[in-house]
Amino acid sequence: MTERERVEASTGWGVLHLFYWAPARPDDEPGGAKRVLDALATFTSEEPHQVVTFATLGHKADLGIMAVGPDLARLQALQHDLSATPLRPAWSYLSLTETSEYAMTEDDERRRLADEEQITDAATVEERLTAWRERITHYREQRVHPRLPQKRSICFYPMSKRRTGDDNWYALDFDARKQLMAGHARVGRTYAGRVVQLITGSTGLDDWEWGVTLFADDPGALKEIVYEMRFDEVSARYAEFGPFLTGLVLDPAEALRRVGLES
């Protein structure tokens, strides 16, 4: 693929969730698994393009492929290459990585230290802010340029904010929305180390406004974080959720074997 053919967003990487049905008679598709593996290998041959493959649970699809990278033309080429394999498309979702417009600023953290922890000593405040700057830099980098984790389970769902009656998220002013999101984020932080969250934007790109991908070694943690967050006002009052697809993260060859395609 030449440089002239690349299609890159001004900010963020492309994220393509692809879901497939395995062939009903895999024995009729000799070499089918190899074609899939070759397509994935071609996509990931150029850094920092990455894929995660997973065998899904339930009957919404058999196989999931999450592909991430800066070049949307490369994502489309992967989609095209997979269409020439025995896999049959079940569903897909497109989004872009992004930072949150409600992310805490240094002034926000300074106020939090004073209000919540009663820390006002200048030297201690600066020490805490130095550590905060390092964490927030890493967090923002991971949001925009993620390295996909190899956890054992994955859950993906799209979501939007409501725009009806008194529950119109977009009728709230920015400060009110930021305050609500700060509370929502506090819940998410309690799952640090147990759940890796990747929130990607899809407004204008697909049917919902965001895609949410959760990774965890403990599948129960996927259930717990979504359940707890639904009691937060951001979800309870303002959120609409699309379908949930959950799977077991596996090496590509093993994922294909699990759905009946073997190389």
Q: Which two tokens stand for residue 87?
A: 């896999």
CA torsion 209→204→1→38, rounded to 10°? 40
By C-alpha distance, which of 191, 249, 262 is closest to 66?
Answer: 249
The catalytically annotated residue of 20, 93, 157, 238 is: 157
Distance separating alpha carbons of residues 206 and 93, to the nearest angstrom: 7
String of DSSP letters for 146-171: ------SEEEEEEEEE-EETTEEGGG
Sign of the C-alpha dihedral, residues 190, 193, 195, 201?
A: positive
Q: Which residue has the tokens 């980098």?
A: 141
Q: Which residue has the tokens 């997979």?
A: 82
Q: Which two tokens stand for residue 233?
A: 């006002």
Distance separating alpha carbons of residues 63 and 263, to the nearest angstrom: 16
By C-alpha distance, which of 137, 106, 37, 108 is closest to 78?
Answer: 37
Q: Is 191 a catalytic residue?
A: no
Q: Which residue has the tokens 């934007």?
A: 201
CA distances from 103 to 21, 186, 236, 239 (A): 38, 12, 21, 19
Write out the catalytic residue numbers: 157
